[in-house]
Amino acid sequence: MAESHLSLRLARTWRSFVKPSICNRCLQTRRTLASQASAPQGQRDAELEEASSLGGAPDAGSGSPVRDFDPLKVPRSRKRQLVPSRYQFRSPKYYRGPLHPHQPPPPSDPASREFVPGPFSTPRLEQTYHNIIAPDFMTMCYQHTPPGFRAPQKGARLRPWIGDSPYFRNRPLRGPRGGDVLRLLRKPITFRNIPMIERVTVHSFVKGALSGGSGYIHVAGMALQAITNHRVMTHEARTNEANWGIIKGKTVSMTVDLKGEDMYHFLGKLINVVLPRIKDWNGVRATTGDNSGNLTFGLDPESVATFPEIETNYDAYPGKMIPGLHITIHTTATCDKDARLLLQQVGIPFYGKVVD
Amino acid sequence: MHASSIRGALAQVFQIPLRPTLRNAAGQISTGITTTTTSSFSTSASRAAKKGRGAKPDQRITLIRYFLYHPTTLTPRPLRFSRNRYLRHWTIHRAWNLYRAKVKQARQLELERQYNAMHAANEELRVGAGDGGKLFRKAQMKTGVWSIPERGGGVPIEYARGLVEWMGSTGGLGSSGTGLGAKAKIWDSEWTRS
């Protein structure tokens, strides 16, 4: 047995020595130009065209357009020089209005100063929203109306002034009932107006900067930049406030506005990594909100330090200077209860009294 | 020291803005605040410290300032493409916009299909179920939809937890246990209020 194996292997190696690159089977199926020309016509596929379209007319001699084409003729015959390839144009730095002759390029143009490349990823939260959360939200809030149903008409929200007084003529309409605020209308949820998260504002009031110097501002800015992947915008105090030690004109806080891809990444980190690791945390207070679907909650410095970007590089930050955050989630919902329902679906827990 | 002086000279000759290197940035800021000139063989540094001329600032803040205001963080100049490259970019940009519009349209149509299906089912329940619309009325009750789980309504927290169940629960730092992986564990099911 062993001998036969050996001989077989020997034969294989011998064959590979003799025909180093071409195996037997390849040799049988290989078609050269000569073999193709002499091959019988019956084996060809009837639908295959014999002539290649790239070759041009076979019987045309020197007069065929392919032979006559001279690639250098056109540029030589050109009177003027072409515009240089690299376009010598400086886009204006500032937008000076629609009537100005010097207009900046659109932001999608890479030469624009507002051009932002990307998006580079599809965040999981975004996919989840479109595949799961939005249909579920629509189903939960579905209100059936029979065909032909017409909602009863309500009166105008801003009433006119009615009376005998001559001052009522051409007077602006009366303010809304019960207060000064004309609240947003809530329309029934259909497939067209399912609320979604629009943008997230991360705000940090740096109290230490009032007395401790600019180090607090810099550390907080760096922490926010690391968390949100955006440059922060700093804000100065507008008034003096003796009780809080605020001096007018001094930098006291910073914000970051997040949209799109960065927003979803930030929310994903917040919801899946940071919030579950806060000990003794009940959730967000259910009464939060500004009555138009924008909810705010805060994080203390210890929780901010558990963001993965800071936690992995914690030693680079002075521990006592890591800021706390206020996070405002702006949704397209027009009332707080819809926004709260959306954020519950996204994974933010709520606690306490519910006021709507 | 030597290299930086060469850089400085070159910057003057070629009119190049001299970027702060990591070393001289740290040096500048620290010497800017505590002006103690100490030669390398002198022991006056400790004497200066004894005098309490001023505490040295935290080196981490210095580094954060260095990286925060490094020239590379400024807005880069606009991208200039050659003709072919610009056309390539423009083509890809239009194709991407087209694709996004199609995806958006598909999502919208899917939602509309679901909504119409719900509408048809509810209408059938209301008219054709044969129980006088009792089931329909039950189905239309929205008690507790906008509430919170604490009050017996709303969306349970497990709804969103399930979406990340298959994500590495240790944050990619190895299996759970007592090591780094345990520290990075996202959801500690065993934790109780002590």
Is residue A202 a contact partner of residue A329, using CB atoms and an 8 Å limit? no
Average pLDDT over residues B20-43: 48
From the list A319, A293, A294, A291, the residue with the least C-alpha distance to A304 is: A319
| Cβ contact, residue pair A139, B164, below 8 Å | no
For the ranges A69-83, A103-117, A174-188, which has the lowest average pLDDT? Answer: A69-83
Task: Tell me what pLDDT residue B34 has.
Answer: 39
Between CA A50 and CA A134 the distance in angstroms is 56
Task: Kindly tell me if the per-residue pLDDT of B150 is higher than 80.
Answer: yes
Sorting pLDDT into bands at 50, 70 and 90, what band is A243? very high
% residues pLDDT > 70 (chain B): 57
Most confident of A17-21, B26-30, B102-106: B102-106
Residue bearing the bigger pLDDT, A10 or A169: A169
For the ranges A49-53, A319-323, B152-156, which has the lowest average pLDDT? Answer: A49-53
**Residue A5 is inside which H or E element, if any?**
helix A2-18
| Closest CA in chain B for residue A140 | B145
A233 bridge partner residues:
A255
ipTM, two decimals, is 0.72
Between CA A273 and CA A227 the distance in angstroms is 12
Task: Tell me what pLDDT residue A29 has.
Answer: 46
| Cβ contact, residue pair B61, A218, below 8 Å | yes
Burial class (CB in 10 A: 0-12, 13-18, 19+), A308: middle
Is residue A112 a contact partner of residue B78, using CB atoms and an 8 Å limit? yes
* pLDDT tens track for B66-117: 999 999 888 788 888 888 899 999 999 999 999 999 999 999 999 999 999 9
Task: Kindly tell me if the per-residue pLDDT of A287 is higher than 80.
Answer: yes
Between CA A216 and CA A210 the distance in angstroms is 9
Task: Tell me what pLDDT residue B193 has.
Answer: 78
Nearest-Å Rg of the Cα atoms of chain A is 36
- Which residue among A85, A338, A341 places its CB closest to the CB of B155? A341
- Which residue among B61, B112, B118 places its CB closest to the CB of A139? B118
Q: Which amino acid is at A280?
A: D
Task: Tell me what pLDDT residue A25 has.
Answer: 46
Is residue B169 a contact partner of residue B185, using CB atoms and an 8 Å limit? yes
Between CA B167 and CA B29 the distance in angstroms is 44
Task: Tell me what pLDDT residue A59 has.
Answer: 55
Average pLDDT over residues A325-354: 96
Average pLDDT over residues A127-142: 94
Q: Give the position of tokens 């990591």.
A: B22
Burial class (CB in 10 A: 0-12, 13-18, 19+), A321: buried
Top residue of A354, A355, A356 to mutate, by most chain B CBs within 10 Å, is A354
* Angle CA B39–B44–B48, to nearest 5: 125
- Which residue among B73, B148, B186 places its CB closest to the CB of A286? B148
Task: Kindly tell me if the per-residue pLDDT of B160 is higher than 90.
Answer: no
Most confident of A254-263, B71-80, B149-158, B168-177: A254-263
Q: Is B179 helix (H, G, I), strand (E, B) or coil?
A: coil
Task: Tell me what pLDDT residue B22 has.
Answer: 58
Between CA B30 and CA B167 the distance in angstroms is 45
Q: Is the previous residue joined to A119 through a cis bond, with omega within 30 degrees of 0?
A: yes
Sorting pLDDT into bands at 50, 70 and 90, what band is A42? low
Q: Which amino acid is at B194?
A: S
pLDDT, chain A, mean:
85
Task: Tell me what pLDDT residue A35 has.
Answer: 46
Residues in chain A closer than 8 A to B115 (CB atoms): 138, 142, 190-191
For the ranges A114-128, A262-276, A340-354, B156-170, which has the lowest average pLDDT? Answer: B156-170
Six-digit token string for A333: 């919902």
Sorting pLDDT into bands at 50, 70 and 90, what band is A20? very low
Task: Tell me what pLDDT residue A294 has.
Answer: 97
Task: Kindly tell me if the per-residue pLDDT of A147 is higher than 90.
Answer: yes
Top residue of A94, A216, A350 to mutate, by most chain B CBs within 10 Å, is A350
Top residue of A114, A261, A344 to mutate, by most chain B CBs within 10 Å, is A344
Residue bearing the bigger pLDDT, B162 or A170: A170
Q: Is A320 helix (H, G, I), strand (E, B) or coil?
A: helix
Residue bearing the bigger pLDDT, B88 or B45: B88
Is residue A293 a contact partner of residue A339, using CB atoms and an 8 Å limit? yes
Task: Tell me what pLDDT residue A39 has.
Answer: 46
| Closest CA in chain B for residue A126 | B163
Burial class (CB in 10 A: 0-12, 13-18, 19+), A325: buried
For B113, phi then psi, to 5°, come to -60, -45
pLDDT, chain B, mean:
75
Is residue A325 a contact partner of residue A203, using CB atoms and an 8 Å limit? yes
Task: Tell me what pLDDT residue A258 has.
Answer: 97
Task: Tell me what pLDDT residue A67 has.
Answer: 81
For the ranges A191-200, B106-115, B124-133, which has the lowest average pLDDT? Answer: B124-133
A294 bridge partner residues:
A330
Taking residue A227's Cβ as centre, other Cβ atoms within 10 Å add up to 20
Task: Kindly tell me if the per-residue pLDDT of A27 is higher than 50.
Answer: no
Residues in chain A closer than 8 A to B118 (CB atoms): 139, 142
Residue bearing the bigger pLDDT, A251 or B45: A251
Going along chain A from its start, the domains and CATH numbers come out as 197-351 (3.30.1440.10)
Residues in chain B closer than 8 A to A190 (CB atoms): 115
Average pLDDT over residues A26-35: 47
* pLDDT tens track for A69-89: 888 888 888 888 877 666 567
A285 bridge partner residues:
A351
Average pLDDT over residues B180-191: 59
